[in-house]
Amino acid sequence: MAVSLTHETLMYAVYFAPRGKMRLLSLGHQLAQRHLSALDKLIGFIGEAGAGKSLLIKGMFPGLELTNDDEGLNMRPLPLLRDIEKGFFSSHTYHIDVRFESAFTPPGVLADAVKKAIDQERRVIVEHFDAIYPHLGLNAEILIGIGEEVIVTRPNIFGPLPGDIADIVFKSIKYRKMVHTAEDLTCKILEEQYGFPHSQNHGDVRRGFVLLFNEKPNIDVNILEKKVLEYINNEMDISYLDDNHILIGENETFHCTGPRIHVRNTREIENFRFLKEFKYDPISKMYALVGLVGSSGSLDTNDLNKLII
């Protein structure tokens, strides 16, 4: 089987994990263009519920019907099991959410169905691949983990194993949730108290967020930080309202296209702070407001995205 040199030499590729719907779909499209082979038959996704796996899959495989996703879609019977029972595979690509399907079907039966499909040159996309791997006995051709970052790898006989990816993404997802909640609180204050539109350009930085402005805002960053910290220190509940809104506390709503990627209460946000000056990008000619969470300490802004080996 011919495989491109890019696929042969891929160890890990790491991307910022976006927090909004359109950015997740766009990243999914990019991942398909860069890493997916037409010959791939077994593709595994690993990450917590609400991490954005379904949106990445929709971006990578436009038109694919997901058997179960965040929008409440629930296809019964499972198309893969139905077709195996009929003895005829009606589709080229199947989707399965192992954590959801395990409530109805033993993992061993699901694993056998996956193996039968790929033996017949069908493609199977498996969410929560780490949960079925012990029953499956073979690794995915491409593994995608979604936590604080999106990790793409092509395992070989030396690994990595699904558990290796799971250990990383399950531990790091909390930072993505902290960042997203702090980002939305900041945008809410900027919109309601400073008059900046919600459609602000967004960027990424490790364990933080970036808001981009065409002109340097006349904002005291220290005062803005105090306003955000007031929300955080008031221990406000954050909950899903609908696909485009979150509920802050009991009655404050805010537009958000990633409403499931949040902490449950603002007290879970650790050590929020802003860089105390706007960073200017001479290429885009935009000014960046940078918010960070997690470990404290002095910061060299040039080290925020430093490669860690």
Contacts (Cβ under 8 Å, ≥6 apart) of 79: 65, 67, 90, 91, 94
Q: Which pLDDT value is given to residue 68?
A: 77
Q: From first to last of its 309 residues, what are the pLDDT tens digits of the chain?
A: 344 445 567 888 999 998 888 899 999 999 999 999 999 999 999 999 889 999 999 999 998 989 876 555 667 788 999 999 888 899 999 999 999 999 899 999 999 999 999 999 999 999 999 999 999 989 999 999 999 999 999 998 889 999 999 999 999 999 999 999 999 999 999 999 999 886 668 888 989 999 999 999 999 999 999 999 999 999 999 999 998 999 999 999 999 988 999 999 999 999 999 999 999 999 999 999 999 998 765 566 666 776 554
3-class state of residue 44 by DSSP: strand
- Looking up residue 91, the CATH number of its domain turns out to be 3.40.50
Question: Residue 70 is part of which domain span?
Answer: 5-160
CA proximity to 147, closest of 159, 133, 130: 130
Indicate whether 165 belongs to any domain: no
Q: Which two tokens stand for residue 217?
A: 């805002």
What per-residue confidence (pLDDT) applies to 201?
85
Asked if the structure places residue 265 within a domain, the reply is yes
Query: Residue 239's domain is classified under what CATH number?
Result: 3.30.980.10
Choosing from 160, 189, 214, the residue where a domain stops is 160
List for the chain the helix, strand, coil content (%; round to 5). Answer: 35, 25, 40
Let me know whether 98 and 244 are in one domain: no
- 16 and 146 share one domain: yes
Rounded to two decimals, the pTM is 0.89
Whether residue 273 is contained in a domain is answered as yes
d(Cα 63, Cα 22) in Å, to the nearest integer? 16
Q: Is residue 172 part of a domain?
A: no
Within 10 angstroms of residue 165's Cβ, the number of other Cβ atoms is 28
Last residue of a domain, one of 160, 186, 212: 160
Whether 10 and 151 map to the same domain: the answer is yes
272 lies in some domain: yes
